[in-house]
Amino acid sequence: MPMAVIDLTRTLCDDMPVFPGDNPVRLKPAATIEKHGFTNYRLETGMHVGTHMDGPLHMIPGGMPLTDMPPERFVGRGVLVDARKCGEIIHSDILEPYSISQGDIVLFRTDWCAQFGTETYYFDYPVLEPRCADLLVQLKVNMIGLDFPSPDKAPFPVHQILLGNNILIIENLQGLANLKGVGKFRICALPLKLEADSAPARVIALTEEDEAI
């Protein structure tokens, strides 16, 4: 069976919604074919807009920058956790039915992504309880991915737990519904190689038959 490629990334665009207090995204034409003979754009953005990856340095003093992470950390077997019925808090027992192994990339589907662009998206999103983060540390996953803006709210205990153990966090995914019914799949989540705490990322799922995975 041919491999299917499923894009889980939100498009980065001018003036897109950002977390309250973050600088707005500015993506503007810098040159046009009609005037300059070529097209070019200028981008001004923070690291935590759209689909992006939080690295340890984001919350941990002396934490590892993403540029120091080996590239194999950005690719792994995906596990889709259906958290649509969890309500405001995603508890650790949601993980019990799933087979999660060391190095996996665990995606939490809540469908909160449908609220993107509304006033509630960055305020009323669900969060992971700290015990859920503790369990993910015990399972030694590489990364988690969320279709909502953050795994927690201030003072950010889940960020501290995960990033303190070098578990990466992908925020603002979309399209996780497209993985429903998919058997095995891999996640490729590549952040821009920037000297920064975090970075925008392109995240795709690769689906194949059992032997190909």
Residue 110 has pLDDT above 70, yes or no: yes
pLDDT in tens, 143-167: 999 999 999 999 999 999 999 999 9
Q: Dihedrals φ, ψ of 143, to 5°?
A: -165, 150
d(CA 188, CA 23) in angstroms, rounded, equals 28
Residue 210 has pLDDT above 60, yes or no: no
CB hemisphere CA count around 135 (13 angstroms): 16
Domain boundaries, the chain: 4-10+47-212
In this prediction, residue 43 carries a pLDDT of 97
In this prediction, residue 212 carries a pLDDT of 40
CATH number of 4-10+47-212: 3.50.30.50
Dump the DSSP string for 97-137: TS---TT-EEEEE--GGGGTTSTTTTTS--EE-HHHHHHHH
pLDDT in tens, 65-100: 999 999 999 999 999 999 999 999 999 999 999 999
Which pLDDT band holds residue 181 (cuts at 50, 70, 90)? Answer: confident
Residue 213 has pLDDT above 80, yes or no: no
The reported pTM is: 0.94
Give me the torsion for CA of 25, 31, 33, 38, rounded to 10°: -100
Which pLDDT band holds residue 3 (cuts at 50, 70, 90)? Answer: confident
